Structure 1
Amino acid sequence: MEEREILLNLMYAGEYLESKDNIGHEIINLFQCDNGNNYIYVLPWGMMDKQHNDRLDAILLARRHSASKIEILAKAVGLKQLAYVKTTGKKDWASLHQVGLKYVINNQVKYGGVYLKDIPFGDNERAVFITFQADKIIKARSPIYITTAKPEHNNSCTFLLPDVKNFSRQSLKMYFSNQKHHLMYKLLHKLINTPTLWGQPTAPIKATKETYLSNKTNFMQIIKKEYDELTFSNLFAYIFESSPTGFQKFAHKCLGASNWGKIFEIKREYKNIDILLADGKNVIIIENKIKSGLNGKIEDKDQLDKYWKIIAKDPAYKKLNVYGFVFVPDYNSAVMGEVQKQHKGKYTCMPYSQVYKFFDQYRNLYHNVPYYDEFLSAIKKHTNLVDNYLEEETYKKFLAAIRWGRFHRAK
């Protein structure tokens, strides 16, 4: 039997993308070229070991979700390999570069009207521009996950990989062979050929001025505080305090405190509680988590339980109705699971998407509040099921490079 393979290629990973100037070459994978073709750049470096030449049935474009879970972004099928490694030295790399450069020019490989060779992905003097041409690149209809750990919830779009103990933290490429990894190949092959999992094909990039402006960095990213829990807790406290009527409605609709009053106090870091609110009848404990787990310090073996006991003994609050909440990004499933497992009945997880939905819907209650739009922009990035910061930054850099290329071409 002929050996066939499916390649799982992980995108948006590594320190390379953290640099201000580096654009991830893999961004081209999810956009159709101006000439109507679909091209794939296989990470890293655009090359594969020669033992895999002409064996691929499909490529699954993916990103890491967690140590044991990977999200499938798209599938590439109908593959034509364009870059072939013959040796492993610099001479071979230079040859691949020249072949790719010629292909880019002869086939008018442009994105947003700019030649691929003129987009500064990094070392373009020796870059392997394209690894494959694909008949189709189809995006996932909704998030598809493959995992090495048994899923906590029964999700029809989460697939447990048989015989895989863990995903490599180093490699961005995983090959699954119909001979060496029969069960895994079979599962992925079935996934690829299940029509209900897949949505729209990739489209050309819209590098208009409006698109570029709509993807501007928000102020939390500018000051490098987009994952800072202290800063977000300060923001929440500021917004809660800025419109008592607004918070009263938030308490009624989202926190279940139907009798919350218009007059209340807000305390930050009261006995280490992130945010405490009290109106004389009720007290609300809010613990805000972004990327960290529940117990930030070794001595805090049960952080949330400790806060509950503090309120139960506090003369100012012990006779009040107590509500406990953990504000958490939608992608931080570990904290959500831990709260549900260990603190059910006392604390409720409030995903950032629910917080965003309310404050976006009731903008009219905050029309005079300074920095309100910036607040919404800051929390919106944490409403995704996956922390896709590097993907967003790569897209913004790609747009900026295309606009810069157009500017120089017009001069």
Structure 2
Amino acid sequence: MQNEIMINKMYVGEYISNGFDNIGHEIINLFQADNGKYYIYAMSDGSISNIHDDKVKSILLVRNCGKHTLEILAKAEGLTQLTKIRKSQKEERANIHQEQIQYIKENHITYGGIELYKIFENNLNNDNAILYTFEAKKVVKPKNPIYVTDDDEMQSCFLGNDSEIIYLEDKKFAKQSLKIYINSSKNPIAYEKLETYINNDNLWEKKPVSKFVQCNIKEEFNFISILGKDYDELAFSNMFKHFFSVDKKLFCTFAKEILNIENFDETYKIEREKANTDLLIQDKNNVIVIENKIKSGINGSKYEECDLYSQKNYNQLVKYDRYIEENFKDKNKYIFIFAPDYNKMIIDFNFTSKYFQMDSKRSWKPIKYSKILEFYKTHKIDHPYFNEFLYALEKHSHSVDNNLEKEMYKRLNRVIQNKKGK
């Protein structure tokens, strides 16, 4: 019999952005239910095709961290498939929804003391929603970051320190699908690799994920978030230009302490989009090029995250390097990439690899957002929007991009709190 490992993508964002009260059903995947059991929701709608029925032996819960790369959040093992879709019609799904409500009542499936079906009552299109797909014996998180990729060049370009990267040479990731099936017969190399990692207990935490614990969460609102610009690179580049300009003496200190550039002169000027660079800063003796990358790759295309090793990206970086080489011959030249801490495919990227050798022999130096945040927290500016700037940086100064996860946790916490208050 063919066995399968399912890769289940979580926190894609669209569903929770479609309604203030929407909670992504995958929120249950990383919590133990109050009855001590673990339930897994298969993205994106709780169903799996009947050709995969009873074949899935393990599930890897992942999040996107690049065009070709996924980060493993947890593994689920000892699976029992609880939900099987006989038909895809809306009426059939509505029947399954009612059957699952009864099953939840009989098996006391609650989170934070609230029955699972009640948690999602205010979701859009809830009447025919599937609420769970599998039951698992355990769900365990990795000790250190583990990544999965379908591109072989990632192995030589990525410096992961304590992390692992798994290249699946006989399986390509579908662009749109939120589920990827690794079949033991069709993808034997990929299946064996993943199975080896899954079975290596040294890579995983000893304790499984815990039950949901309700807590008081301070709701924070910020103009950047209200405007939907939390991930907008243009907005951040404009903010960098503004705050690098308002206190020139302070920026010279920033250049020294963060960029390691001595004696930067206060007569400097900053230009946006000069020769397509995000920021070009020059004084009498120095020129700095800064590429600011949040979710995009070097070429700036939306969602082409971390595609740093492609030929067009290589050409783009070379172009910037050549530009300053040809136009600022008598100046010291520096090239940096600003990136969130969680964007490890940039922060830990090997810019000295053969794919990124600049003609000038310079190499791009990544600067974490947390370093910028730390600097400005200790060198405050008297400016009406300075706290907004710090808030915007703070959201990208963590080792994982869990903003959607945190938002869902807040909504889950709020729903449970409201249900208990009734």
Q: TM class, shorter-chain normalised?
A: 0.7 to 0.9
**Cα distance in 1, alignment partners of residues 91 and 297 from structure 2:** 48
Measured against aligned partners, the alpha-carbon deviations of 1:9-50 in whole angstroms (never above 9, x if no partner) come to: 222237434423432211110122233322111123212233
Structure 2, unmatched stretches of 5+, are: 302-311
Cα pair 2:90 2:128 within 8 Å, conserved: no
Residue in 1 aligned with 2:379?
365
Residue in 1 aligned with 2:109?
109
**Cα distance in 2, alignment partners of residues 70 and 284 from structure 1:** 32
Measured against aligned partners, the alpha-carbon deviations of 1:305-364 in whole angstroms (never above 9, x if no partner) come to: 36415642xxxxx6443333232345284796679715364453333x2x4225325623
Residue in 2 aligned with 1:265?
268
Q: Which of 346, 353, 365 is residue 349 of structure 1 equivalent to?
A: 365
Cα pair 1:111 1:402 within 8 Å, conserved: no
**Cα distance in 2, alignment partners of residues 193 and 324 from structure 1:** 43
Pick which of 369-378 and 39-48 moved more: 369-378
**Cα distance in 2, alignment partners of residues 143 and 174 from structure 1:** 20
1:54 aligns with 2:54: yes
SS in 2 for 1:84: coil
Structure 1, unmatched stretches of 5+, are: 313-317
Give the letter aligned to residue 265 of structure 1: Y
Question: CA 1:92/1:114 → structure 2, altered by over 3 Å: closer, same or farther?
Answer: same
Give the letter aligned to residue 11 of structure 1: M
Residue 221 (structure 1) shift: 2.3
SS in 2 for 1:366: coil
Cα pair 1:67 1:167 within 8 Å, conserved: no
Give the letter aligned to residue 177 of structure 1: N
SS in 1 for 2:126: coil
Residue in 2 aligned with 1:377?
391
Q: CA RMSD in A?
A: 3.3
User: Percent identity between the aligned chains?
Assistant: 35
SS in 2 for 1:201: coil
Give the letter aligned to residue 228 of structure 1: D
Residues 244-323 of structure 1: pairs in structure 2 closer than 5 A: 244-261=248-265, 263-269=266-272, 271-272=274-275, 273-295=277-299, 303-305=319-321, 307-309=323-325, 311-312=327-328, 319-323=330-334
Cα pair 2:50 2:85 within 8 Å, conserved: yes
Q: Larger % of strand: which?
A: 1
Residue 367 (structure 1) shift: 6.0
Corresponding pairs, count: 394
Q: Which of 221, 225, 246 is residue 221 of structure 1 equivalent to?
A: 225
Residue in 2 aligned with 1:194?
200
> Structure 2 length as normaliser, TM-score?
0.80
Cα pair 1:283 1:321 within 8 Å, conserved: yes
SS in 2 for 1:205: coil
Residue 195 (structure 1) shift: 1.8
Cα pair 1:359 1:376 within 8 Å, conserved: yes
Give the letter aligned to residue 350 of structure 1: P
Cα pair 1:295 1:303 within 8 Å, conserved: no
